[in-house]
Amino acid sequence: MPRDSELAVVLVYPDLLGTYGDRGNALALTYRARARDLPVRLIEVAPDESAPASADLYLVGGGEDVSQALAWETLKAEKNIIRALQAGAPCLAVCAGFQLLSREFRDRDGNMVAGLGLLDVVCARLPDRRAVGEVVAEPVGIPSLPTLTGYENHQGNAVLGPDARPLGRVTHGRGNGDGSSEGAVQGSVVATYLHGPVLVRNPALADHLLERVAGPLAPVPDEAVDRLRRERIAAAGERLNSGIFDKWRGAWGRMTHARGASQ
């Protein structure tokens, strides 16, 4: 895409799929685009609105069980988004969004239902406690990225099929639930269980998505973000090396499960 044309970023159902501040992913993308003098327009789509079929980037965030169910009823009938992603438009899907784009996922009633099928992934439930806390992962699906960092709070897992690659290899946290992989990458879709928001905590991932449609971009130094990344990676290691973090994670997981937080 030419540098002087406008980049259209679609934020899908932010009032339903934005439980853990995932709207911040859209803000990170627009900030980093404008830092390079790249014109960008953010389009927030409500469930009762039709989404643009020819946008450049699509963002699908996380949500609690009820919100995910409401979003799913609308999303599966939203042909414009499905066509755009099938045609190769880049997409970031987080947590519940990850599950909605999968081949199958478990709904709030415990039934396995068909997802959009854009990821060769099946999302069921973790067999034990919720996955709650800091995550650190080394990139796999996009090898050019630096270490990934984020925050997880989910009961869902993700089992990848042969057509999907993990976004990262977990060094701290649970990620997809196997304690080994985190997220998935397939075609133009990047999916993850990481909040934070993930593009704020991992600006290189934001730049990767932008470069998919805008071409190579000049670096944007940001000492505040770099400092946050260093602090989060160090904190994850310190907590996991102590028994305090495991106790806190278990207590928080039981509390959020009782509240019916997002998968």
Domain edges within the chain = 7-259
Q: Are 91 and 80 in contact (CB under 8 A)?
A: no
Residue 153 reports pLDDT greater than 70:
yes
Active site residue 95: yes
Distance of CA 79 to the CA centre of its chain: 21
Active site residue 208: no
Architecture of domain 7-259: 3-Layer(aba) Sandwich (3.40)
Distance CA 41, CA 73 (A): 27
Portion of the chain with pLDDT greater than 90, in percent: 74
pLDDT at residue 249, rounded to an integer: 43
Which of these is catalytic: 95, 154, 172, 208?
Answer: 95
pLDDT at residue 4, rounded to an integer: 57
pLDDT at residue 239, rounded to an integer: 57
- pLDDT per position as a tens digit, 55-95: 999 999 999 999 999 999 999 888 999 999 999 999 999 99
- Average pLDDT over every residue of 100-110: 94
Q: Rounded to two decimals, what is the model's pTM?
A: 0.88
Which of these is catalytic: 91, 154, 172, 195?
Answer: 195
pLDDT at residue 260, rounded to an integer: 46
Distance CA 248, CA 242 (A): 11
